[in-house]
A and B are shown apart, each in its own frame.
Chain A
Amino acid sequence: MLAGSLIVTPVIIVIVRSFTTARLGAAVGFSLDNYMRVLHDPKILPMLQNSIVYAGGSALFGTLVGAMLAWIVARTNTPGKTLVELMPLYPILMPPVMKNIAWVLLLSPKSGILNNMLQQAFGIDHPVFNAFSMPAMIWVFGLTCVTLGYLFLLPVFLSFDPSLEESAYIAGSRPMRTLLRITFPLAIPAFLSALVLNFLRGLRSFETPVLQGSPGGIDVFVSKVYDSMSIDYNPGLATAYSAVLIVLSVAALILYVRTTRFSERYATITGKGYRVKVVDIGWWKYAAFVAVFVYFLIGIAIPFVVLIITSLIPYYDYETFMKFPTNVDLASYHRVMHHPSFVSGLYNSLALSIVIAVVTVFAGIVMAFTIYRTKVYGSKVFEFIGTIPLAFPPLVLSLGLIIAVIDSPFYNTLWALGAGLFIAYFPYALRNASGAIVNIHRELDEAAWVHGARWRHVFFRVTLPLLKPSIAGALFYIFIEALRNIDVAVLLVAPGMEYGPVTLFEYFRVGQWAEAAAGGVIYLVILIVTVTIAKFVFNVKFSL
């Protein structure tokens, strides 16, 4: 009940507030002014176009690359596939904001490493790449979308019934033709699901629009919501932009549900035991290997190296960067570790992420248990409420939350930040617990009842112990996600109440790139340690 109302409140506030004139704390009056302002904004159409081009372009690029990699891994004899098989770990090791920082360092028009290299090597007098352009935004966010495309399509190619292809061969179709006419068409539904979900993620994404779009004058709705709050400090306007964003998100979510249903009709898994057939693609396997290796370099190795080098030089500019390793210097680390807002932000993010992971996972289990294992009246409603936040961009949820707590003692406290993170990650915890509980055969509960167990016994002695593996997975996942969260925390932080990732984000915004890189590397080390513990001590499998 508490969890439910916590989730519903910010949502209602965003919608109600979008119809009011008031600024924070002032009197409230019903008005359509905010919508009029949004609708009369001459930039509204370009903004809509930008949002769709950015989200759609990244989704298409990322999903296509992901699908190709999935096919290469699942069905071909390409050497070096292992590099791709580790892909589920990439986004964990390289959080979105780190990717943005690394690629801006590489592609920035003036000081970008790649631009300077090309200019010097070929004597070009203008920058080749522009990190603050739409193609660069699509490039960076598209790389983030690859993982989802890969993870959606891998099971399709792995569980593909070979007899579908074999019957095409017998009908006289050559391998290439079979691939184009049978294999790929059957993967289309899963591809569409991944595409739409990536599009939705693009609409909600925060880091790329704010760090790369805004400086280049490319506005999308998310960055406009952020600017309305951080520059204009006008929640009414922010909520009105949010409302447009919500409409877009909900439309994409509906589309996603539809494509998922469509893909169920296309099920190629027949339940018969068979082995996945690996196709010998001849000389193409070397081309595929190059593709895999290039992806590994671009997706993880180069940004990683750039970040680490930048953190180890006194300050960032191209010349200093190129002098590495003669100028190794831990000054950036020293500065961030003595900067109060980073230190307190690091502490807050660690403490809060642990608490949020535990609370969210436990609340998710209790709610899933109530929904699926008890006959509590109205429990199905909670299932719906629990999934609402998925339709709302995290930035919008934190906007609703900040308006809700502005006049309360919770304003500018870790409580508000904690509530925001709870709302953002509760749907994941609920879905994870629901999936796990549904998989526990009901007879195991019933056997406990007839042998004298009551609800609490069933929950603590049967359900909870059986959920252990998925609990460990969810705890680590939410801890990792919360630890690097920016889009929920960015509106809820205040001086004296910092959140580490937001501090890094601010370093970067004000041009302290070396500090941003040093702080980023500190977080990367924490993430690597966490993932290693999760994987080898708790045997957690990271999928998304």
Chain B
Amino acid sequence: MSIVKVEGLYKTFADYRALDGVDFEFKHGVLSILGPSGCGKTTLLRCIAGLEVPDDGAIWIDGKVQTDIRKGILVPPYSREIGFVFQNYALWPHMTVYNNVAFGLKLRKVPDRDIRRRVLASLDLVGLPKLEDRYPSQLSGGQQQRVALARSLAMEPRLILLDEPLSNLDAKLREEMRVELKKLIKKVNISAIYVTHDQEEAFVISDYVIVMERGKILQYATPDDIYNWPAHQFVASFIGRSVLVDGQVMQATGDEMKVMIPDFNRAVLTCRRPNGVAVGETCQLVIRTSEVKLSSRPFEQTENVLQGVMTSRDYRGGLTDHRVQIGSREIVVTSHKLCPMISVEGDGNKVFLYVDKGAISVISDQPAVSAQAAAH
């Protein structure tokens, strides 16, 4: 049984369409909803929580219908038995940490002794023992975030929804917290839907990722698949550092094909061939620049080597960005301090780039939800 199932969800605010026919089903684990701001990801989460009423569509949680607009079913948020962690934590400032966490348990008339046990256990779980008498204003951002999480976990929900919970923390703390959050969710063994605009965060935390844009799901797959096989131009450009170029299939044999890139001085690149792509067709290639090798001397390989001119090098501490002009395009290749890749002095020099087949993804007319994810 799926923990969440969403069918035909539509939601419009004034003249802005936040959800435009969203369907997906999710069995267990952690699912991230990833997309730029305004793509509808938070609206989707709020519809699942019952905080927003969609214009049309249906939502099931744990097999039970929660929203079905056509049948007039709308279970209120307080009866959905889920957890929700808000972006700003939404801790009640007039209650102590203990009372914040105990709030929902008291409403459910859980006996006092059990409340105490569960509150303290949740605070312990999130690593905040002995802070139960403090008020939210006396806590740091990271601690408030943990209290918000403890408040949801204390309810022992089947599903916890998280709306960009780490976005208010500083970069270092955010990196620590996302690892911790993942461990914690796995430990209590519940399912979670995690909304974020940070690709790296989504990949670290989740088992599956939904990429959204303009109220539509563009791709629903594992992080690995999304990274290696972006199904859509937008997904490719949104995920990681990559360059998107138009190409024409010159030759197709077995599971490989050669594609000519007009923008790269008509250079030819060999890459994996998606099903059904034929000679003469146009396609788009996504080149992950983090996987491109750069050298001032020619490579031993003859295939997939491009020639360009280095226009500048931007020093970023441990990393260096190399800007290379190839034909009419400029691409940025980043090298690490420990593997400098290149020792070119000055600008305007000729450089060689080796693009491994694995660093190239092809976008053709594939379905948005990849087969691997749909199977879950």
Contact = CB atoms under 8 A, between A and B. Distances in A.
Contact of B77 (A443, A446, A462, A465): A446
A452 interface: yes
A451 B104 CA distance: 5
Given A450-B78, A454-B78, A443 B104 contact: no
Instruction: Tell me the dominant secondary structure on chain A's binding face.
Output: helix
Given A457-B107, A465-B94, A466-B93, A450 B88 contact: no
B51 A452 contact: no
Given A444-B92, A457-B107, A466-B94, A452 B86 contact: no
B166 interface: no
B82 interface: yes
Interface in B165-223: none
A452 B110 CA distance: 12
Contacts of A449: 50-51, 76-78
A447, A451, A466 — most chain B CB neighbours (10 Å): A451
B54 interface: no
A447 B78 contact: no
Interface string B301-325: 0000000000000000000000000
A441 interface: yes
B88 to A, nearest CB: 6
A443 B152 CA distance: 14
Given A450-B77, A451-B104, A462 B92 contact: yes
B90 interface: yes
Residue with the highest number of chain A CB atoms closer than 10 Å, among B82, B87, B91, B94: B94
Interface in B59-117: 76-84, 86-88, 90-94, 103-104, 107-108
A449 B75 CA distance: 12
Contact of B107 (A441, A446, A452): A452
A450 B80 contact: yes
A453 B107 CA distance: 7
B151 interface: yes
Interface string A344-364: 000000000000000000000
Contacts of A461: 103
A447 B78 CA distance: 10
A495 B107 CA distance: 53
Nearest to A446: B51
Interface string A456-487: 01000110011010000000000000000000
Contact of B86 (A446, A457, A462, A468): A446
B128 to A, nearest CB: 18
B15 to A, nearest CB: 20
A337 interface: no
A446 B78 CA distance: 9
Given A451-B103, A453-B103, A462-B92, A443 B86 contact: yes
B115 to A, nearest CB: 13
Contacts of B93: 466
B4 interface: no
A450 B83 CA distance: 7
Q: Which of B87, B103, B108, B151 has the most CB of A within 10 A?
A: B103
A448 interface: yes
B88 A443 contact: yes
A443 B90 contact: yes
A448 B91 CA distance: 9
A450 B94 CA distance: 18
Contacts of B123: none
A207 B341 CA distance: 88
Chain B interface, DSSP helix/strand/loop, else mixed? loop
Contacts of A448: 92, 103
Nearest to A445: B90
B355 interface: no
B152 to A, nearest CB: 8
Contacts of B104: 451-453
A450 B103 contact: no
B49 interface: yes
B135 to A, nearest CB: 12
A466 B87 CA distance: 20
A452 B155 contact: yes
Contacts of A462: 92
Contacts of A444: 90, 92
B108 A452 contact: yes
B71 to A, nearest CB: 20
Interface in B11-69: 49-51
Contacts of A443: 86-88, 90
A468 B92 CA distance: 14
Contacts of A446: 49, 51, 77, 84, 86, 90
A468 B49 CA distance: 29
Interface in A178-205: none
Nearest to A466: B94
Contacts of A468: 94
Which of A447, A462, A466 has its CB near the most chain B CB atoms (within 10 A)? A447
Contacts of B77: 446, 449-450
B43 to A, nearest CB: 13
A291 B77 CA distance: 61
A179 B151 CA distance: 55
B90 A453 contact: no
A448 B77 CA distance: 9
B109 to A, nearest CB: 10
A439 to B, nearest CB: 12
A451 B107 contact: yes
A445 to B, nearest CB: 9
A449 B76 CA distance: 8
Contacts of B86: 443, 446-447
Given A452-B107, A453-B103, A454-B78, A447 B94 contact: no
Contacts of B91: 447
B84 A450 contact: yes
Contact of A451 (B76, B87, B151): B151
Contacts of B94: 465-466, 468
Interface of A: 441, 443-444, 446-454, 457, 461-462, 465-466, 468
15 contacts: A443-B86, A444-B90, A446-B51, A446-B90, A447-B91, A449-B51, A450-B51, A450-B82, A450-B83, A451-B84, A451-B107, A451-B152, A452-B107, A452-B155, A454-B76
10 pairs of A and B residues whose beta carbons are closest in the complex: A451-B104, A443-B90, A447-B90, A449-B77, A450-B84, A452-B107, A452-B104, A465-B94, A443-B86, A452-B78
Given A446-B84, A457-B107, 13 more contacts: A443-B86, A443-B90, A444-B92, A447-B84, A447-B92, A447-B151, A450-B51, A450-B83, A451-B151, A452-B78, A452-B81, A453-B103, A462-B92
